[in-house]
C-alpha cells in the first residue's frame, strides 16, 4: 500500500470514528414527576455529562416555579397574596405573562390560579356522589386570572385576593424540556429527547438516521398503542383522563377541572398535541381537554403550527385537518 493510500485509509477511519454517536438514557424524578432523558453524543462520557446538565437545569427551574417548594419565587408570590407585589426573575415573569395569554384566549378554561382551587373532587375511588353545586361554586372562589396583576417595569407579580395561588403544573414541565433542548442545541448536541411526564421535546434523529418514533397510547388499553408518529425537532404533549376519572350516571368526569366552573372536563378521554414548542403544546392539550372537541379545534386553529389527535369518551378518534399519520378506522 502506498503512503498516499495509507493516509487515505487512516483519514477514513478517523472520519468514521468522529461521526459515530452514542445514545445514553436516564430516568429520574423531577418537578414532582418522571423525566426520561435521552442524549446522543460523541461518547458515553459526553452523553452522561450532558444528561447531568439537563437534570441541573430542570432542578434550577423547579426551584424557581414549583409552588410546593416554600422557597421558590412562585411560593413567595402565593404567600404574599393580597399583601404586596413580589419581584421575580424575568424568566418567571414572562412565563406568567404567557400563561395569562392562554387564559385570555380560552376565556378562563386555562388558568394558572387553579392552584387555589379547593380539592373537592376525589379520584382515588372514595367518591360515592357528586359534590353539591354550592360546594363546586365555592371551590373556585379564589380562582381567576384577572386578579393577577403584573408590573413589567418592576418585574413583579401581585395576587389581589387573600388565599389566591398560582401554579405551573400545566406548563412547567413543557417549559423545562424546551429550555433544555435549546441548551443542548447551543452546546452542539445534535440529537435527543427530554420527556417530562408526557411533555416531550425532541431534536435531531436516532443513531440510525431515522426520526424519533413517538407512540400514542390507547387510553382504553394502555398496554397498546393506537399509532406511532415519527418526529424530530418538535414537541409532543398528551393530556388525558384515562388514569384518573370518576363515573356518575354513566358519565365520565376527568381529573382535569375547568378552573372557570369547578366542574371536571367531560367528552374527551385524551388529547395529544404536536408542534414546535412543548410549553405551548401543553397549554393547548390541557385547554382542549377542558373546552371539549369542537371548541378545542377552534382554539387549535389559532395555532397553525400545531396539530392534534383526540380520543373521545366513547372511543372515537378525531384528528385536526393538518395532522398527518396513518388512517384510523374512526373508532377504537
Q: Please, which residues bridge with residue 308 across strands? A: 273
Give the mean pLDDT of 159-171: 93
Residue 234 has pLDDT above 70, yes or no: yes
What percentage of the chain reaches a pLDDT higher than 70?
92
Beta-carbon neighbour count of residue 33 at 10 Å?
Answer: 13
List C-alpha distances in Å: 283 to 64, 91, 133, 150. 19, 18, 27, 20
The verdict on pTM exceeding 0.75 is yes
CA atoms 219, 222, 223, 228: torsion sign: positive
Q: Please, which residues bridge with residue 86 across strands? A: 157
- Among the residue ranges 189-193, 304-308, 325-329, the one predicted with the least confidence is 325-329
Residue that is written with C-alpha cell 408518529 in the block: 229
Higher pLDDT: 161 or 15? It is 161
pLDDT in tens, 38-68: 999 999 999 999 999 999 999 999 999 999 9
Residue 7 has pLDDT above 50, yes or no: no
Provide the 8-state DSSP code for 331: B
Predicted local distance difference test score (pLDDT) of residue 195? 95
Higher pLDDT: 11 or 107? It is 107
Segment 50-54 long-range contacts (CB within 8 Å, at least 24 positions apart): 50/184, 50/187, 50/189, 50/192, 51/24, 51/26, 53/183, 54/180, 54/183, 54/184, 54/194
* Confidence band for 327, pLDDT divided at 50, 70 and 90: low
Phi-psi region of 276 (alpha: psi -120 to 50; beta: other; left: phi over 0): alpha
Of the candidates 263, 269, 194, the one whose C-alpha atom is nearest the C-alpha of residue 235 is 194
pLDDT in tens, 81-140: 999 999 999 999 999 999 999 999 998 999 999 999 988 998 888 888 899 999 999 999
* Confidence band for 278, pLDDT divided at 50, 70 and 90: very high
Domains of the chain (ranges plus CATH)? 73-159 (1.10.3980.10)
Burial 37-54 (b: 16+ CB within 10 A, else e): bbbbbbeeebbeebbebb
Q: Are 178 and 202 in contact (CB under 8 A)?
A: no
Q: Please, which residues bridge with residue 180 across strands? A: none
User: Hey, what's the cell of 62?
Assistant: 423547579
Give the mean pLDDT of 64-87: 97
Angle at the Cα of 316 from the Cα atoms of 245 and 220, rounded to 5 degrees: 45
Predicted local distance difference test score (pLDDT) of residue 13? 34
Residue 1 has pLDDT above 60, yes or no: no
Amino acid at each position: 500500500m502506498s503512503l498516499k493510500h495509507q493516509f487515505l485509509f487512516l483519514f477514513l477511519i478517523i472520519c468514521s470514528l468522529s461521526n459515530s454517536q452514542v445514545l445514553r438514557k436516564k430516568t429520574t424524578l423531577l418537578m414532582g414527576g418522571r423525566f426520561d432523558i435521552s442524549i446522543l453524543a460523541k461518547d458515553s462520557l459526553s452523553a452522561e455529562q450532558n444528561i447531568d446538565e439537563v437534570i441541573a437545569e430542570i432542578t434550577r427551574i423547579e426551584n424557581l416555579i414549583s409552588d410546593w417548594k416554600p422557597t421558590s419565587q412562585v411560593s413567595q408570590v402565593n404567600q404574599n397574596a393580597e399583601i404586596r407585589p413580589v419581584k421575580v426573575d424575568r424568566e418567571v415573569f414572562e412565563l406568567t405573562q404567557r400563561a395569562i395569554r392562554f387564559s385570555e384566549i380560552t376565556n378562563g378554561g386555562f388558568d394558572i390560579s387553579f392552584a387555589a382551587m379547593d380539592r373537592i373532587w376525589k379520584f382515588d375511588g372514595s367518591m360515592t356522589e357528586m359534590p353539591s353545586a354550592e360546594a363546586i361554586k365555592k371551590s373556585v372562589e379564589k380562582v381567576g386570572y384577572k386578579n393577577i396583576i403584573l408590573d413589567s417595569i418592576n418585574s413583579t407579580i401581585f395576587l389581589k385576593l387573600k388565599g389566591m395561588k398560582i401554579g405551573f403544573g400545566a406548563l412547567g414541565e413543557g417549559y423545562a424540556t424546551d429550555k433544555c433542548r435549546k441548551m443542548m442545541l447551543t452546546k452542539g448536541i445534535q440529537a435527543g429527547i427530554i420527556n417530562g411526564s408526557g411533555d416531550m421535546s425532541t431534536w435531531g434523529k436516532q443513531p440510525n438516521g431515522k426520526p424519533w418514533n413517538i407512540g400514542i397510547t390507547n387510553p382504553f388499553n394502555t398496554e397498546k398503542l393506537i399509532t406511532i408518529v415519527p418526529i424530530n425537532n418538535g414537541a409532543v404533549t398528551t393530556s388525558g383522563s384515562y388514569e384518573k376519572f370518576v363515573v356518575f350516571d354513566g358519565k365520565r368526569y376527568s381529573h382535569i377541572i375547568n378552573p372557570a366552573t369547578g366542574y371536571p372536563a367531560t367528552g374527551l378521554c385524551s388529547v395529544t398535541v404536536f408542534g414546535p414548542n412543548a410549553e405551548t403544546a401543553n397549554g393547548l392539550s390541557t385547554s382542549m381537554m377542558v373546552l371539549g372537541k369542537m371548541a378545542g379545534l377552534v382554539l387549535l386553529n389559532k395555532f397553525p403550527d400545531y396539530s392534534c389527535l383526540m380520543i373521545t369518551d366513547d372511543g372515537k378518534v378525531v384528528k385536526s385537518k393538518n395532522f398527518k399519520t396513518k388512517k384510523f378506522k374512526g373508532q377504537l
